[in-house]
Homo-oligomer: A and B are copies of this chain.
Amino acid sequence: MTAQTRGLHSRVLESLGPAITAGEYPPGSVLRTDELAKRFEVSRSVMREAVRVLESMHLVSSRRRVGVTVLPTEEWNVYDPQVIRWRLAGADRARQLRSLTVLRSAVEPVAAGLAARHATAAQCAELTECALGMVAHSRGHQLEGYLKYDVAFHRAILNASGNEMFARLGDVVAEVLTGRTAHQVMFEDPDPPAVSLHVQVAEAVREGDAARAEALTRQIALGALEELDILAP
């Protein structure tokens, strides 16, 4: 969950990265490596390595005689897990959560359909276990336990899809679900129909019914979108 803070260079990154993604340095701002090195009290070598990493994320662009220029948002590698973490920790957390939820709503149904085709017996078992865990924690304010199984369920679906790109969205989904529980209106127990949908998805996958798994997951996704009021014009 938390970032690796190994190395002096990482500490600089964990300070400068969030500052940039938070918009503290508006696009077009120019920084100088020497000045940054002095500010963070590190050598130029360390600072240069940090800048190189930021450059590989397309957050900044380093050019001779100019300096380190902050790039506009459209250039950023918004799929970089570190960038996602930094943005979720920053000011436009809400915007980011909405954006990621839309992505989820697109990907997860298709992933569920693929899972129904490709899931192994072990993966089906895990899926069922997660769904049952959700049911068991769906009443009596056991939100923490519920969340754990919810995250595991969606991770399992993405992994069982057999698609590498989908599987790698597991962390993103986990982040969104956690953020939803923590920040959103999740004082109450989850809606029984929503829980039931998860159980049915597990069933559909186990039976190899791709169309049903996809449709049911689309229902779940719709619920997530509605929670954030993403649909009204």
Contact = CB atoms under 8 A, between A and B. Distances in A.
Interface in A1-55: 9, 45, 48-49, 52-53
A52 B166 CA distance: 26
A156 to B, nearest CB: 15
A185 to B, nearest CB: 23
A105 interface: yes
Question: In terms of DSSP, what is the predominant structure of the interface of chain A?
Answer: helix
Copy count, this protein chain: 2
Most buried by B among A73, A78, A111: A78
A82 B80 CA distance: 12
Nearest to A100: B165
Given A53-B56, A103-B165, 6 more contacts: A45-B45, A56-B57, A77-B79, A79-B168, A102-B114, A106-B106
Interface of A: 9, 45, 48-49, 52-53, 56-57, 73-74, 77-82, 99-100, 102-103, 105-107, 109-111, 114, 117, 163-168, 233
